[in-house]
């Protein structure tokens, strides 16, 4: 690749990373201003940020970004750094199955369902498959299809349908239920007002993962997320019918707010807004309303009327709610339809607060509700519509609920426009005929409302007699898919329960941030100091590459909207250690080329050329481990895997290209390139250790270590983390030092079960795990466990405490995590072995690598078992340990592959077969020994920093990798390559067919 192209790539990547990171700098500046303005008042700070959500805060000339858009592009912090709540919701498929069958009383059916639920707690088999198998096992004569052949399911299931048809039907409906629940939860979370929430379906399961950074009202979140979805249909008022009422509300507010100066704070939903804030900031916002309304005019189909800006102070409601009007002949007219106004997203909380005031509520009649649209309509990306809903009956409820809907589908009409088709049961069809006949007389609208939010309000053109309707409008394909899902939500009355939960307090998050930053900074300093001390000027080039590497890594994370977690920071710190691996390979090769008496330019060129195969092979194997971790882990583990994989890519880029540019610059100016000091020049240079001769000693040592490890695992076992065994874990901090034994004794007496209590960092901080009520994941069980915990903690007299974080994992989740951990380890070893087999084309290489990695994994697990309870920090077996052990396996193969590459290089020499294979293997190990030791040292230095300064949360994680690297270095030298010698019977490895073909092609016959 030409130098010009390399320079161009570096500049482009640097600018792209700077652009991605700039959003984080902008949002941090805005949030700093908000904190200074609020002066510790969280409600005021949030109101400030809400007020500028739609305002431009970042202008780069060719594009402008609002605070909301900048926030969406920032590098977000995970819960362990920011504090907040992480939950896993599980859709109750047993309820779904029972509901689809009409909740039959059949004993065999219900027994099969009960057995399936119990078995699902200890297996990964889907509940539907378990249920089908259990029902078959009952030997019942009633066909399974007969239970689901109801009127509502008549279109898809008959009494004669096969078991396969029933299974497919249930799987289809389960997918619909999960998608519907996701949609409902997404909307609820958006209404909650959490900054940068994350919600995703856990593919292949009936679970939904939710992260809510910054929330501090856990009870409200639980109620919000676990409530049943409520689909309702309402008649609506016409805008002209309601406008005079809104004018009256506006006049009333103008009078009362003037009399109330300064007005009291009004709470509404999750936002506290001061409706009569007399600060200059509020006056400026009011002064901008004219501009906001102009924006809404261009954004909406019906332009909004623009009141006189000078009179805005006298129009409190219309200052934040634009009436729905349109222009006709130069005159503003009230628009027809159910929409009575539009408000900027940032102002909806203010409108809610105004409408919730007592003097306003007394004006609005009981049969009128004002409800917001679920999202901006048409092109009005920053404006929500407000609908006038007509309630009916003595309870002021809907005219119809969603239970009557049997199916809903998205599709297209004859003009190929997106529509939604809706079908109802017989009862629903009768109601729908009456409702649509009445609405059609005045071309009224029917609002479709889910959880108090309007998803659509189509006009009714004619009476619909049979319950089969088509809903059309200015829809996108995505709109119709969402609306169809919403309509089906009424058909699938399943509940979503919290089966896993983690709560991190902001104080613990700040400690994690401080620990992570400290470890990162110290780690950089240690690596850079070592590289200069060992490699002289070449070390300076490597350090420049490390700085670029960190910059590129953070930039790529930001561009991917990745969430930075504490394990992610650990991944960054670890990347700094491994980032120099490629440089070490290059520099060690340059030393060898220098010893051959080559010119400086040739030394650089050949150093990069000959090191490249080892660099690629070693990094690809580690990348494979990161990929498996990403797909098998969740939450923080995915964050670590993401950082690890991106770090490998950026490390390769910086080590190969940036250091090469630096060397080319030095060569062009005749500057001397030095790769060592006199003291480091001969380190392990002429090493000639007899590894093959002494290999049996290493085998005996490893065998003893493995036997001891197995003995410890089988007798002592492990201390499992809550995510592997289920239960609840709490992090508690007392004001003063506290005895774990005293706390354990108190809690054991109260819970009636054995409680695990460990010191967590300082002597005043504890990690408490209990299996009490492990099978129960309800709110009542959570409250009961927390109450008993507090009862036990308060028995430590005169020592106040604070619960910093808590985590709940149901038994089903724990079983699933354990199984995925096992799969991850097995897949990693298989993937690495497969890659080495493909790359080296001989099974002995794969077997040697597999032996070394399995050896490392067993010994690391054995050490965790032996040292648990001896060392003064937690050695729980949990997801973090799985990430650590897989990282160690990846590093072990990284080291091993370098030796293999050198061995392959030696075996390709013309006279290779004249040398005894043991001598060749010995030479390969010795020639790479310097690289192996130096790379291991840099990683060990960094991990030692992470272990000491990284904080208690990842101390066990960093300890596992630290010990694992030492073991992996040993196995790559003493086991992997020597194993090839024994596996090949002490003979040269057989040539592959391709190698033979190449050699035969080179033979010239006379």
CA 412 to chain centre: 35
Q: How far apart are CA 960 and CA 965, in angstroms?
A: 9
Q: How far apart are CA 526 and CA 800, in angstroms?
A: 40
For residue 690, the tally of other CB atoms under 10 A from its CB is: 11
What does DSSP say about strands 331-334 and 368-372: parallel, antiparallel, or unpaired? Answer: unpaired
Q: How far apart are CA 686 and CA 927, in angstroms?
A: 8
pLDDT score, position 715: 93
What's the maximum distance between 2 C-alpha atoms anywhere in the chain?
A: 113
Which stretches does DSSP call E strand in 662-726?
A: none
Task: Say if residues 91 and 575 touch (Cβ distance below 8 Å).
Answer: no
Mean pLDDT by 10 residues, the chain (1006 residues): 79 92 91 85 75 82 86 80 80 87 89 89 82 90 89 81 90 84 75 66 79 73 72 89 90 80 38 32 33 36 37 73 83 86 83 89 90 77 86 82 82 86 86 88 86 85 85 80 73 69 70 77 85 89 89 90 77 75 84 86 89 83 84 73 87 87 88 85 79 92 95 90 80 89 89 82 84 76 87 88 83 72 81 84 88 91 90 81 82 83 83 79 88 84 85 81 90 90 75 50 46
Task: Say if residues 302 and 326 touch (Cβ distance below 8 Å).
Answer: yes
pLDDT score, position 261: 55
pLDDT score, position 997: 55
DSSP letter, residue 391: P
Q: How far apart are CA 747 and CA 738, in angstroms?
A: 14
pLDDT score, position 489: 62
Torsion of CA 365, 367, 368, 374, to 10 degrees: 150
Helix (H, G, I), strand (E, B) or coil at 717: coil
pLDDT score, position 308: 40
Q: Which distant-in-sequence residues (6+ apart) come within 8 Å of 41 by Cβ?
A: none
Query: H-type helices in 288-425, by residue range?
Result: 289-299, 348-355, 358-361
> Which tens digit of pLDDT belongs to each residue from 750-781?
988 878 888 887 788 888 888 888 777 677 78
User: Which structure tokens are listed for 616?
Assistant: 């690629």
Could you identify the residue written with the tokens 């307090």? 505
Task: Say if residues 545 and 621 touch (Cβ distance below 8 Å).
Answer: no
Q: How far apart are CA 643 and CA 624, in angstroms?
A: 13
Could you identify the residue written with the tokens 């400030």? 48
Is pTM beyond 0.85 here?
no
Which stretches does DSSP call E strand in 828-941?
A: none
pLDDT score, position 270: 29
Q: Is the dihedral of CA 937, 942, 944, 947 positive or negative?
A: negative
Q: Which distant-in-sequence residues (6+ apart) come within 8 Å of 419 by Cβ?
A: 410, 411, 412, 413, 470, 471, 472, 475, 480
pLDDT score, position 311: 45
Q: Which residues pair with 213 in a beta bridge?
A: 84
pLDDT score, position 415: 82
pLDDT score, position 706: 95
């Amino acid at each position: 690749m030409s130098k010009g192209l390399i320079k161009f790539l570096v500049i482009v990547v640097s600018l792209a990373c700077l652009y991605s990171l700039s959003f984080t700098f902008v949002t941090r500046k805005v949030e700093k201003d908000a904190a200074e303005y609020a002066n510790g008042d969280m409600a005021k700070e949030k109101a400030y940020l809400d007020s500028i959500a739609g305002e431009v805060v970042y202008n780069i000339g060719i594009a402008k970004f609002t605070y909301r858009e900048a926030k969406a592009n920032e590098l977000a912090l995970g819960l362990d750094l920011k504090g907040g709540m992480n939950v896993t919701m599980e859709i109750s498929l047993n309820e779904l199955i029972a509901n689809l069958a009409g909740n039959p009383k059949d004993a065999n059916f219900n027994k099969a369902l009960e057995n399936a639920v119990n078995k699902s707690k200890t297996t990964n088999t889907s509940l539907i498959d378990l249920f089908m198998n259990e029902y078959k096992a009952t030997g019942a004569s009633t066909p399974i299809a007969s239970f689901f052949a109801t009127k509502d399911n008549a279109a898809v299931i008959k009494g004669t349908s096969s078991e396969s048809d029933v299974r497919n039907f249930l799987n289809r409906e389960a997918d619909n239920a999960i998608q519907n629940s996701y949609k409902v939860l997404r909307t609820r979370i958006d209404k909650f007002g959490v900054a940068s929430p994350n919600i995703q379906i856990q593919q292949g399961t009936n679970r939904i993962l939710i992260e809510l950074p910054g929330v501090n009202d856990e009870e409200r979140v639980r109620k919000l997320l676990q409530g049943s979805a409520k689909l309702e249909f309402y008649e609506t008022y016409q805008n002209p019918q309601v406008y005079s009422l809104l004018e009256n509300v506006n006049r009333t507010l103008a009078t009362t707010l003037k009399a109330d100066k300064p007005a009291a704070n009004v709470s509404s939903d999750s936002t506290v807004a001061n409706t009569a804030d007399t600060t200059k900031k509020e006056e400026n916002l009011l002064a901008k309303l004219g501009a906001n309304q102009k924006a809404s005019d261009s954004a909406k189909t019906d332009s909004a009327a623009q009141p006189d800006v000078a009179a805005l102070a006298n129009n409190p409601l219309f200052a934040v709610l634009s009436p729905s009007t349109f222009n006709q002949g130069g005159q503003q007219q009230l628009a027809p339809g159910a929409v009575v106004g539009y408000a900027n997203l940032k102002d909806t909380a203010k409108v809610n607060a105004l409408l919730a005031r007592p003097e306003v509520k007394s004006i609005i009649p009981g049969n009128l509700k004002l409800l917001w649209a679920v999202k901006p309509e048409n092109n009005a990306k920053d404006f929500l519509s407000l609908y006038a809903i007509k309630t009916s009956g003595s309870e002021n409820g809907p005219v119809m609920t969603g239970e009557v809907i049997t199916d809903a589908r998205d599709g297209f009409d004859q003009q190929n426009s997106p529509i939604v088709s809706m079908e109802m049961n017989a009862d629903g069809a009768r109601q729908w005929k009456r409702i649509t006949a009445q609405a059609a007389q005045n071309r009224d609208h029917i609002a479709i409302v889910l959880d108090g939010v309007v998803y659509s309000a189509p006009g009714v053109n004619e009476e619909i007699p049979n319950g089969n309707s088509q809903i059309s409008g200015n829809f996108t394909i995505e709109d119709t898919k969402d609306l169809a899902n919403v309509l089906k939500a009424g058909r699938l009355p399943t509940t979503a329960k919290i089966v896993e939960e983690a709560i991190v307090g902001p104080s613990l998050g700040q400690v994690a941030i401080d620990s992570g930053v400290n470890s990162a900074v110290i780690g950089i300093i240690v690596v850079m100091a070592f590289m200069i001390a060992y490699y002289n000027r070449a070390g300076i080039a490597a350090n420049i590459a490390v700085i670029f590497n960190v910059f590129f890594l953070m930039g790529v994370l930001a561009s991917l909207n990745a969430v930075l977690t504490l394990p992610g920071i650990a991944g960054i710190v670890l990347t700094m250690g491994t980032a120099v691996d490629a440089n070490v390979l290059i520099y060690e090769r340059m030393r060898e080329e220098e010893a051959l008496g080559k010119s400086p330019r040739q030394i650089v060129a050949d150093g990069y050329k000959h090191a490249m195969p080892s660099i690629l092979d070693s990094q690809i194997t580690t990348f494979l481990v990161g990929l498996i971790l990403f797909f098998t882990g969740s939450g923080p583990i995915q964050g670590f895997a993401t950082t690890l994989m991106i770090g490998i890519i950026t490390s390769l880029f910086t080590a190969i290209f940036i250091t090469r540019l630096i060397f080319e610059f030095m060569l062009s100016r005749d500057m001397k390139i030095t790769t060592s000091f006199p003291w480091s020049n001969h380190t392990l240079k002429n090493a000639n250790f007899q590894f093959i001769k002494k290999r049996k000693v290493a085998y005996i040592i490893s065998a003893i270590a493995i036997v001891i490890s197995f003995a410890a695992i089988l007798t002592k076992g492990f201390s499992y983390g809550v995510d592997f065994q289920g239960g609840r874990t709490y992090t508690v901090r007392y004001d003063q030092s506290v005895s774990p034994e005293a706390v354990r004794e108190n809690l054991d007496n109260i819970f009636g079960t054995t409680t695990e209590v460990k010191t967590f960092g300082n002597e005043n901080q504890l990690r408490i795990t209990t299996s009490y009520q492990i099978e129960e994941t309800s709110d009542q069980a959570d409250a009961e466990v927390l109450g008993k915990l507090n009862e036990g903690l308060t028995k430590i007299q005169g020592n106040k405490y604070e619960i910093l974080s808590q985590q709940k994992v149901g038994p089903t989740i724990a079983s699933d995590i354990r199984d995925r951990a096992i799969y991850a380890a097995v897949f990693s070893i298989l993937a690495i072995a497969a890659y080495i087999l493909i790359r080296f084309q001989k099974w002995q290489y794969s077997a040697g690598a597999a032996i070394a990695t399995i050896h490392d994994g067993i010994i690391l697990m054995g050490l965790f078992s032996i040292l648990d309870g001896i060392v003064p920090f937690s050695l729980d077996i949990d997801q973090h340990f799985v990430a650590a052990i897989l990282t160690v396996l990846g590093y072990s193969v990284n080291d091993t592959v370098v030796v293999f590459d050198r061995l392959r290089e030696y075996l390709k020499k013309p006279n290779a077969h004249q040398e005894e294979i043991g001598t060749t293997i010995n030479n390969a190990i010795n020639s790479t020994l310097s690289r192996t030791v130096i790379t291991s040292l840099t990683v060990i230095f960094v991990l030692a920093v992470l272990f000491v300064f990284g904080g208690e949360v990842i101390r066990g994680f960093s300890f596992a990798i630290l010990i694992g690297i030492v073991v992996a270095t040993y196995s790559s030298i003493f086991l992997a390559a020597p194993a090839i010698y024994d596996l090949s019977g002490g003979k040269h490895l057989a040539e592959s067919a391709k190698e033979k073909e190449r050699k035969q092609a080179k033979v010239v016959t006379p």
